[in-house]
Amino acid sequence: MEDQDLLAALRAGQEEAYEALIERYQGPVYNLVCRLLNEPSDSADIVQEVFLKIFRNIRAFRGNSSLKTWIYRIAVNEAYNHRRWFSRHHRQEVGLTRDENTRGYEDSLPDRGRSPFDLTSDRETRALVEEALAQVNPNFRAAVVLRDIEDLSYEEIALVLELSLGTVKSRILRGREALRKILEGRLEPEPSLHWSPQPVE
């Protein structure tokens, strides 16, 4: 089913269309959210909220962008909202150990086992890249993830992030440079990554 047909079925309230939407986008949305958060363990809850918002607002979607772009915009916004909320309410409460009322240091550690790159043959390289990606400025990270991992066009990224095309290209360039600096000396001279950075057009 093409996205346009899926959209029509969703607007008609067809149950199988909702199942098809989840089957098609749950994995990509989860991977995207994981990479945008500093607390990947919260990703499942955020993805659930993303799909609730999709279901609630599907009839209001006017089709000014693709269905995928619209869904990614919701996912990015939810991830950003969660990160802001976490910064305000939790960071000062994190201790070195956990008890019944506070979050422990171990709760903030990223879950490396959830990385989608772990299923690839070059696991060590993927782990290094994921670790480095988490250190990049969140604004630059989002642009790099959408371009180099999710393979969105510059125009689609501009719609998802609600930025100008020039700003998108600038953030991709700066994000790639930040990644390069973090990974410098830690990878082989020419690592064979699925999403090897390409020059910004």
| For the chain, percent of residues with pLDDT exceeding 70 | 73
State whether residue 95 is helix, strand or coil. Answer: strand
Right CATH for 1-93 from 1.10.10.10, 1.10.1740.10, 2.60.120.10, 3.40.50.800: 1.10.1740.10
State whether residue 120 is helix, strand or coil. Answer: coil
**Helix-, strand-, coil-residue percentages of the chain, each rounded to 5:** 70, 0, 30
Cβ–Cβ under 8 Å, residues 18 and 35: no
pLDDT of 63: 82
Full-model pTM: 0.69
What integer is the mean pLDDT of 171-197?
A: 73
CATH code for residues 112-188:
1.10.10.10
pLDDT of 71: 95
End-to-end CA, the chain? 32
Report which of residues 115 and 200 the model is more confident about. Answer: 200
pLDDT of 200: 58
Maximum separation of any 2 CA atoms in the chain, in Å: 54
Pick the most confident of 76-85, 108-117, 145-154.
Answer: 145-154
Residue 134 has pLDDT above 70, yes or no: yes
What integer is the mean pLDDT of 39-68?
A: 89
What residue segments make up the domains of the chain, in order of their start?
Answer: 1-93, 112-188
Report which of residues 191 and 186 the model is more confident about. Answer: 186
What gap in Å lies between CA 168 and CA 173, rounded to an integer? 9
Rg value, the chain, Cα: 18
pLDDT band at 188 (very low <50, low <70, confident <90, very high): low
Report which of residues 111 and 153 the model is more confident about. Answer: 153
